[in-house]
Amino acid sequence: MAIFTDDISINTLIGVGASFTGNLRISGFIRVDGDIDGNIETSGRIIVGEKARIRGNISATAAVVGGIVEGDIIAPDGVKVLSSAVIIGDVMTRHLEVGEGSLIQGQYVALSDENEYNEAVIHWQDVKAIRAKSLFSDQGTL
């Protein structure tokens, strides 16, 4: 799977030692080597470096994960999980490559057919919404 075969110029870089709290919406390719506490949404691709720690959801066209992600990843074009990666959340993609020794704690869906993938994403989003709603409604009752 060649996720990064065309333009590889990085538009945004969060370096080692940098930390950010809040949601990021980026246009283009991003590389994260620092700590982010918030969601990342990009119209391009993302690399999560081996030293990166992300506590939030990632939405990108494609992703390479080498660090820790505590959140869901939606990347239709592909997700490559390196051997150093830990993902605590769900992964939705059309192409998935998982390195030996990596950890994914959650569900993953990798469907190459575009229609099947789109239907699975919609179903997954519906299930997530229902679970979130039931979690909030149960908090008031003991």
CA-nearest of 11, 14, 12, 39 to 24 is 39
Asked if 82 contacts 64 with a C-beta cutoff of 8 angstroms, the reply is yes
Is 85's pLDDT higher than 60?
yes
- Which 3 state secondary structure label does DSSP give 40? strand
Distances in whole angstroms, Cα of residue 122 to Cα of each of 115, 125, 135: 11, 5, 20
Task: Provide the pLDDT for residue 32.
Answer: 97
Is 142's pLDDT higher than 50?
no
Measured between its terminal Cα atoms, the distance across the chain in Å is 49
Distance CA 86, CA 45 (A): 19
Q: What is the pTM of this model?
A: 0.86
Distance CA 96, CA 7 (A): 20
